[in-house]
Amino acid sequence: MSYSTRIEQIAGHLNYPKGLLSGHVAIITGSGQGIGAETARLFANEGAKVVVSDIDASKAKDVTNQINESGGSAIAVPGDMLDSAYIDELVKKAADFGNGKIHIIVNNAGYTWDGVIHKMTDKQWDNIIALHNTAPFKLVRAAAPYFRVKDGEPRNIINISSTSGLHGNAGQANYALAKAGVVGLTKTIAKEWGPAFGVRANTVAFGHIMTRLTAAKEDGAFVTTPDGQKIALGIPQAQKAGRGAGGEHQDIPLRRPGTATEAASSILAVASPLFSYVNGQTISVTGGRNM
């Protein structure tokens, strides 16, 4: 077989004229902005029917409108992931949107609420664990009837983690534990739902990606808890400047942070048929940073 013929064969296998995710129904939490919004757009561009979930109804609607106006298919189902009733509603509306089917869940919603161990409050601790561990578990549990099926269609769950969960990070005991826990949840899903139902579950762990969580704290970004408390987001400028010997980004071999689109592209890759034999894994998207 000639080299050119082999290339043509490979190209044929990679030719998805209707998109890598054509016909798939995907729930993406925290998709009103940042990595989640970019993931929603990329999924829609590859043929998925996207359920945009975000606590900010206005932002969720904006992303949904952009997708639909660009020829994609999306609905907004805004709500609070800490509300069990909302999770049930999200699954029901996603299944209705998908004519009784859901193929993909991306557990992306979350934020940081930092503090050193000896000053961290119970509220900080409980909030972050609930948002990054309990909420994804409840969503996966609620969606179980749509994943534990044998219809021959691919299904997968992608849980978003962080290098803080893989290596720990000073000032983030709550977030580090939560993001480490995500890895264990992922591996358990893979082992429980893989053998009989072929469900794939993988974790994507991000390093420094340019989002509101890694922007300068002085920019003033914040989230508001259900009880009205404002939580400042970002990294203090002094801390950012001191990272790594020689200044910011020196601890990243590529010498730059990743973009939200690059982060979302890694999620798309994991969700796609190109990763059909990858299961129970943690994929680090860090620009080469390993600490």
Q: Is 111 a catalytic residue?
A: no
Distance CA 252, CA 255 (A): 5
Contact 44, 111 (CB under 8 A): no
Helix (H) or strand (E) holding 269: helix 260-271
Read out DSSP for 195-234?
Answer: HHH--EEEEEEE-SB-STTTSBGGG--EEE-TTS-EEE-S
Contact 51, 97 (CB under 8 A): yes
Distance CA 14, CA 48 (A): 17
- C-alpha distances in angstroms, 245 versus 39, 166, 216, 237, 252? 33, 22, 19, 16, 11
Handedness of CA 149, 77, 268, 224 (dihedral sign): negative
Distance CA 148, CA 291 (A): 36
Q: Which of 270, 287, 267, 284 is nearest to 37 (CA)?
A: 267
SS (H, E, C) 50-78: EEEECCCHHHHHHHHHHHHHCCCEEEECC
Location of structure tokens 């409980």: 126
| Catalytic pick among 86, 111, 146, 175 | 175
Backbone angles phi, psi at 282, to 5 degrees: -115, 115
Location of structure tokens 């002085």: 218
The residues carrying an active-site annotation are: 175
